[in-house]
Amino acid sequence: MPRDHASTTAELHRMVMPDHLCPFGLKSKALLRREGYDVDDHHLTTRAQTEAFMAEHGVETTPQTFIGGERIGGYDDLRAHFGKDDADADDTTYRPVIAIFAVAALTALAISWAAFGELLTVRAAEWFISIAMILLGLQKLQDVEGFSLMFLNYDLLARRWVRYGAIYPYAETGAGVLMTAGALHWLSVPVALFIGLVGAASVFKAVHVDKRELKCACVGGDSTVPLGFVSLTENVMMAAMAVWMWAKHL
């Protein structure tokens, strides 16, 4: 049975001011439309109007959505109303590191095509690893302090020499840049080999020996990537790349 007009109309109150357009208001409006609702869109155009609205309805935030006369709440409440609850922020996910490796692979293939007119080349494989190092290092460089705090949970060297946690992002990124350029192998190879081997040993001990369930700092200090196979793979790839480049340029 089709819903009547009242049941297909939602009332949305959101801030639309010259100096502030509420992003959650826009998200709420878009979600309601995707769910098949006509939106009776009420703009709160001044701070005073917004404060008065919140006081009237006993709420502390906007936007606020009403459906069938019932207040649903803000954007998160609206998502929950439609059964679209987000995963808990503490849940682990491989999505960030998968995205980094995918972008690194596509970028390597693009460079290979531009340089050689071919996609699948040895140099593309090398670029894939070196570009992944750059991207992973860049994630860490966004918040070196946050990264180092998480890194201290499991890295063997950082626990003995705390400053190593602050040096690591620069070392990883720098080695990746040099390997991408194919320059200064005398510097990039030992750096990548060292941090790769120490990292692999640290992850193996934490996960397989100590049986600890931790989050990996591989994509930065706010990472939800679980420490384990992916983390170990990252470090093994760095070490393998270093050995490969060393053998190649003997």
Q: What is the pLDDT of residue 231?
A: 83
Label residue 3 by pLDDT band (50, 70, 90): very low
CA–CA gap between residue 164 and residue 223 (Å, rounded): 19
pLDDT in tens, 142-167: 999 999 998 999 999 999 999 999 99
Q: What is the pLDDT of residues 97-107, one digit of tens each?
A: 889 999 999 99
- Paired residues of 65 in beta bridges: 12, 73
Quick one: DSSP state of residue 209? I
Whether residue 223 is predicted with pLDDT greater than 80 in this model: the reply is: no
d(Cα 66, Cα 42) in Å, to the nearest integer?
11
From the list 115, 126, 120, 135, the residue with the least C-alpha distance to 246 is: 126
Q: Which of 19, 24, 81, 12 is nearest to 53 (CA)?
A: 12
Mean pLDDT score of the chain, rounded to an integer?
90
Percent of all residues in the chain with a pLDDT value above 90, rounded to a whole number: 76
The 10s digit of each residue's pLDDT in 177-217 is 999 999 999 999 999 999 999 999 999 999 999 988 888 88
**Could you give the residue ranges of the DSSP H alpha helices within 36-184?**
47-57, 75-81, 95-116, 122-141, 144-151, 156-160, 164-181
**What whole-number distance in Å separates Cα of residue 220 and Cα of residue 146?**
7
Per-residue pLDDT, 2: 39
* Global confidence as pTM: 0.77
C-alpha to C-alpha distance for 225 and 198, rounded to whole angstroms: 19
Q: Which domains does the chain have, with CATH numbers?
A: 7-81 (3.40.30.10), 95-248 (no CATH)
Residues 164-184: pLDDT tens digits? 999 999 999 999 999 999 999
Task: Give me 242's structure tokens.
Answer: 């270093």
Main-chain phi, psi angles of 66, to 5 degrees:
-120, 135
The residue with greater pLDDT, 31 or 1, is: 31
| pLDDT recorded at residue 221 | 63
List, in order, residues 6 or more apart from 101 with CB less than 8 Å away: 132
CB 225 within 8 A of CB 216: yes
Contact 75, 28 (CB under 8 A): yes
Tokens 């089709």: give the residue. Answer: 2
DSSP 60-99: SSS-EEEETTEEEESHHHHHHHTT-PPPPTTS--SHHHHH
Q: Tens digits of per-residue pLDDT, 110-120? A: 999 999 999 99
- Closest to 84 (Cα-Cα) out of 14, 30, 19, 144: 30
Share of the chain above pLDDT 70, in %: 93
Three-state DSSP state, 240: helix
Who has greater pLDDT, 216 or 109? 109
